[in-house]
Amino acid sequence: MALERTFSIIKPDATRRNLTGAINAKFEEAGLRIVAQKRIHLTKAQAGVFYAVHAERPFYDELCDFMASAPIVCQVLEGENAITKNREVMGATNPADAAPGTIRAEFAQCVGENSVHGSDAPETAAEEIAYFFSGLELVG
Ligand code: CDP
Ligand code: MG
């Protein structure tokens, strides 16, 4: 077991519906510590850089519009195996496939507006944390 950090976003569909606290409770109940957090409003261009890996996918333009449609809460979560644990707490991308009790099963509206983002590997976690946070903001 290794202490890890992962990057998380509470997406616009969730901030709009005042679900930040309910989602944070899920992270904390799972043993994930919120070691950095800020609420920002992305431009479409910034969302496009963040999701550049999906630039060729048919949903990319709609995804970038959605991510820039309202504030997001970006976070660094820390814990044992935080990357995998967060993906478990989030549930499957499509809420129709998400296990009961997961964030997406309880809160997501559809495959696009699915309430949370979580890094999928150590390399992407490091890149995504560095895109949104400076070292000075990571106090543990
Ligand atoms: O977020 P996650 O890592 O579970 O899924 P992804 O495959 O990396 O896709 C990134 C995001 O694109 C998803 O969370 C959805 O918001 C969106 N998406 C979509 O709108 N339609 C799809 N068919 C797949 C993903
Ligand atoms: Mg992903």
| Residue among 47, 104, 117, 133 flagged as catalytic | 117
pLDDT at 2: 82
Is residue 54 annotated as part of the catalytic site, yes or no? no
Q: Which two tokens stand for residue 77?
A: 């979560």
pLDDT at 131: 97
Ordered per-residue pLDDT tens for the chain, 140 residues = 689 999 999 999 999 999 999 999 999 999 999 999 999 999 999 999 999 999 999 999 999 999 999 999 999 999 999 999 999 999 999 999 999 999 999 999 999 999 999 999 999 999 999 999 999 999 88
Burial class (CB in 10 A: 0-12, 13-18, 19+), 51: middle
Going by alpha carbons, the residue nearest to atom 4 of ligand 1 is 93
Q: Which two tokens stand for residue 3?
A: 């202490």
What are the residues whose beta carbons fall under 8 Å from the beta carbon of 93, sequence distance 6 or more?
Answer: 104, 111, 114
Q: How would DSSP label each residue in 5-55?
A: EEEEEE-HHHHHTT-HHHHHHHHHHTT-EEEEEEEE---HHHHHHHTGGGT
pLDDT at 61: 98
pTM over 0.85: yes
- For 82: left if phi > 0, alpha if psi spans -120 to 50, otherwise beta; the answer is alpha
- Residues in contact with ligand 1 by the CB-under-6-Å rule are 54, 59, 63, 93, 111-112, 114, 117, 120
